[in-house]
Every structure is written in C-alpha cells, then in structure tokens.
C-alpha cells in the first residue's frame, strides 16, 4: 500500500566499478582533505587487502597521516572515542574507512564525535536533533557486500557495559563517498560471502514489506533481491569472479539505501538482541532468523512477499504459481536459498550452531522488545512470540 506521505534521501556519492579505488585521491582533493586517517582492522591490513587503497593514496600524494587498526569485532563506544582521540593527536582532517560493518560503524561513530567537537559519543545521545556540526570529509570502502552501511545515516555501536547495541541516527554519520570496487571482496571467504549476502537480502525483504515501506525504497529492494539471487551462489563458488562480486556490492548498497529510507523489521530487532546478548555475528543471525520471521509474518505480509517472488525465482516460475500461493512460495524460495548456502558455504541455520542456549532466550526476547525495528514489523510481536520464535530456531 502506498503511504500517504514519505521521505527519501540518499546523499552519498557512489563510485562503482572494477577500478573505482583509483578515484579516491580525486575525491579527497575535492573534499579539501590532505591528511586522512586510514581506518581498517588488523586482519585486512595483514591480508594486504588495504594496501590497494593505501598504495593509491601514497602514489597520489594523499598518504594517510595515521593508520588505525584496533577495531573490535563489534564496534564499541570505547573504540569510537579512541579513534576520535587518535584523529586529533595525529592532526587528521578526514577519514577513509576500509572494512566491514564494524570498521564502518566505528568510523561513523568517530566522525559523529568529531563533528560535534566532543570526546564521548554517549554525551551526544538523542542525536536525531543535531543540525549543526563540523564537516569531516568521510570516504567509505566496504570489504564485504552486506551491511549497506556505506550509504546509510545510521551507526550501530555496542555499549560494552550494558551489553546492548545502540543505534545512532544522524546526517553526520552518512559518508560523503562510498567506493564499490570488486577488488575489495575477491578474497572474502565463502561463508562470509554467503552470510553477508543474506544480510543484504534480509535488508531488502524487510525494507520492502515493513510498515514504513515506500515505493522508492521498494524499487531498490526489488533490484537488490534480483542481483543477490542471480549472483550469490556464483560469488560463493567462484570468489574471484569480479562481475559477481560487483553485482553483490551493488545489491548490498541498494538494499542499504532502501532500509535507511523505510526500515527493517523483526529479523533485525531479534538479530541485534542476539548480537548484544550472545555476540552472534550479525549476518549469521540474519540467516538463522529470516525464515522463522517470514513464516511468522506470512498471515500479515503474504501480499508483500508475493510481490517479491519474481525477483527471487524469475518471472515465469512466479507467473506459474497460483496468486494465493505466491507469498508462501517466496518464503520457500528463501528457505531453499539458505539450505543451498548452508550446503555450499556452511552458514548456520540453527541458533544452537552459534552457541545460543535455552536459558538465554528470555533475555534475548526482552532486549529485542526494546528495538525500534520491531515496531514496524508487519505483524505485531510480543515477548512471548519472540521467545517462541527463538525456541523454534534453536
């Protein structure tokens, strides 16, 4: 159903192509940045994946003023504040973040702190209302194809003390430029390729069918789902296929643009709680929860799911499915894809496979209820229903 009113925004400039990294120095010059802080993690640095970016920056006269790699697996409030401190101490004037979700979220948090000339991200809560601040030039180079974080105005950062993931929404976390270059994901292992691809699929399905969906974000969702279904198996099986990699990167970005303009839903609400309480990796939580939430939502979302069937299975099989069966068939197609990725890449399908036990369920359910994404899920969910769903996924 078309909403009576909606807004749609995406101010991130996208550089997309097999050699897109080469344009980073031009973009830094355009942003009047001369002393970037290069933010990445130790593994990416050791694997030499970051050197493609670093070499270009050095060769073009915009070498990093500092390289910071001490990023935890889950971005944390403490890490964000430390990055802001290193930025100031090193005389940096811009940020180039090269990494997956944690690196990008940490960079976003640090950029927010620096823009407000603060030294503690917790002191700038309620940031949706911030309209003024210093512009910190910010370029993001994702090394996974999943989070879509390179083009969203939200940072998800873990509060270590409280064991919860906090969402920081602000124009000050939205990058100036996102660079999609297939070279960044060519060596991503099969399991990470599969799970991050499912995270992107999840963004697209939830953004298209949540209560805040709108026609513009749904268009991005449809295109993203089509690209994921056409390329994820190829990217898993032949990781060096640059075309498949770039298609997955584009799909993740489109799904990110979509959900930042509509919302996600219960898969993410419960997934954030699993990350906060049990440290389950976000993308793997998505793959485990997705079919259970889709089955739960079917009575309320069958029509929305039916509209996504052609993107999942192709137009002819979708047309051959009786209209009343299409919603259910879409859910089945998601389950079939997950089973295939489980067989080919070993992504987990049960919570017990990632160490979650029955005793943790009440706390996960309670945490999920406080997540804003649950409010826009197409079918209401109370604590008991979240707990029942988690028991079903154990």
Give the interface with Fe ion as residue ranges (CB under 5 A): 199
Which of 190, 193, 93, 94 has the alpha carbon at shortest distance from 143? 193
Closest distance of CB 128 from Fe ion, Å: 20
As a whole number of Å, the end-to-end CA separation of the chain is: 34
**DSSP letters along 101-138, please?**
HHHHHHHHHHHHHHHTT-S-GGGG-SGGG--------E
Q: Which is nearer to Fe ion, 105 or 199 (CB)?
A: 199
CA dihedral 206, 210, 214, 218 (to 10 degrees): 20
Closest distance of CB 108 from Fe ion, Å: 15
Closest distance of CB 285 from Fe ion, Å: 9
Containing 230, the helix (H) or strand (E) segment is helix 215-237
Closest distance of CB 203 from Fe ion, Å: 6
Report d(CA 394, CA 392) in Å as an integer: 6
Q: Which is nearer to Fe ion, 109 or 287 (CB)?
A: 287
Q: Which is nearer to Fe ion, 176 or 199 (CB)?
A: 199
Q: Which is nearer to Fe ion, 199 or 371 (CB)?
A: 199
Q: Which is nearer to Fe ion, 165 or 326 (CB)?
A: 165
39 token code pair: 């933010």
Q: Which is nearer to Fe ion, 53 or 257 (CB)?
A: 257
Neighbours of 109 (CB within 10 A): 25
CA dihedral 191, 195, 201, 204 (to 10 degrees): -140
Closest distance of CB 372 from Fe ion, Å: 14
151 token code pair: 């083009």
| Neighbouring C-alpha atoms within 13 Å toward the C-beta of 10 | 22
Position with the least CB separation from Fe ion: 199
Report d(CA 120, CA 30) in Å as an integer: 29
Q: Which is nearer to Fe ion, 140 or 302 (CB)?
A: 140
**DSSP letters along 8-20, please?**
----PEEEESTTG
Q: Is 256 helix (H, G, I), strand (E, B) or coil?
A: helix
Closest distance of CB 238 from Fe ion, Å: 25
Containing 6, the helix (H) or strand (E) segment is none
Closest distance of CB 338 from Fe ion, Å: 15
Q: Which is nearer to Fe ion, 101 or 378 (CB)?
A: 101
Closest distance of CB 268 from Fe ion, Å: 6
> Could you identify the residue written with the tokens 């089955």?
295
């Amino acid at each position: 159903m078309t909403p009576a009113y909606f807004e749609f925004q995406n101010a991130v400039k996208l550089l997309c192509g097999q050699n897109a990294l080469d344009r980073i120095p031009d973009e830094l010059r355009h942003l009047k940045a001369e002393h970037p802080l290069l933010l990445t993690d130790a593994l990416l640095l050791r694997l030499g994946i970051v050197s493609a970016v670093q070499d270009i920056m050095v060769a073009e006269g915009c070498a990093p003023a500092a390289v910071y790699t001490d990023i935890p697996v889950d971005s944390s409030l403490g890490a964000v504040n430390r990055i802001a401190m290193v930025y100031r101490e090193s005389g940096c004037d811009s940020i180039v973040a090269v990494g997956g979700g944690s690196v990008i979220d940490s960079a976003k948090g640090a950029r927010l702190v620096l823009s407000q000339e603060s030294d503690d991200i917790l002191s700038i809560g309620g940031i949706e209302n911030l309209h003024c601040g210093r512009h910190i030039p910010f370029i993001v180079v994702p090394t996974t194809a999943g989070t879509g974080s390179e083009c969203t105005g939200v940072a998800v950062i873990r509060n270590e003390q409280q064991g919860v993931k906090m969402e920081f929404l602000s124009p000050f976390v939205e990058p100036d430029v996102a660079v999609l270059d297939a070279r960044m994901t060519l060596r991503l292992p099969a399991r990470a390729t599969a799970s991050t691809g499912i995270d992107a699929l999840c963004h697209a399905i939830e953004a298209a069918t949540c209560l805040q969906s709108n026609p513009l974000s749904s268009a991005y969702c449809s295109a993203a789902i089509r690209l994921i279904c056409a390329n994820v198996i190829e990217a898993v099986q032949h990781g060096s296929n640059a075309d498949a990699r770039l298609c997955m990167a584009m799909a993740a970005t489109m799904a990110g643009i979509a959900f930042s303009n509509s919302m996600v839903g219960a898969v993410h609400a419960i997934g954030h709680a699993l990350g906060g309480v049990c440290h389950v990796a976000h993308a793997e939580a998505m793959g485990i929860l997705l079919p259970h939430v889709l089955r739960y939502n079917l009575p309320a979302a069958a029509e929305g799911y039916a509209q996504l069937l052609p993107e999942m299975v192709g137009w002819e099989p979708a047309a051959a499915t009786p209209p009343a069966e299409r919603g259910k068939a879409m859910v089945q197609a998601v389950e079939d894809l997950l089973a295939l990725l489980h067989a080919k890449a070993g992504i987990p399908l049960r919570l017990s496979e990632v160490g979650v036990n029955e005793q943790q369920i009440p706390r996960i359910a309670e945490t999920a209820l406080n997540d804003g994404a649950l409010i826009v899920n197409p079918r209401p969910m109370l604590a008991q229903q979240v707990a029942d769903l988690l028991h079903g996924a154990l």
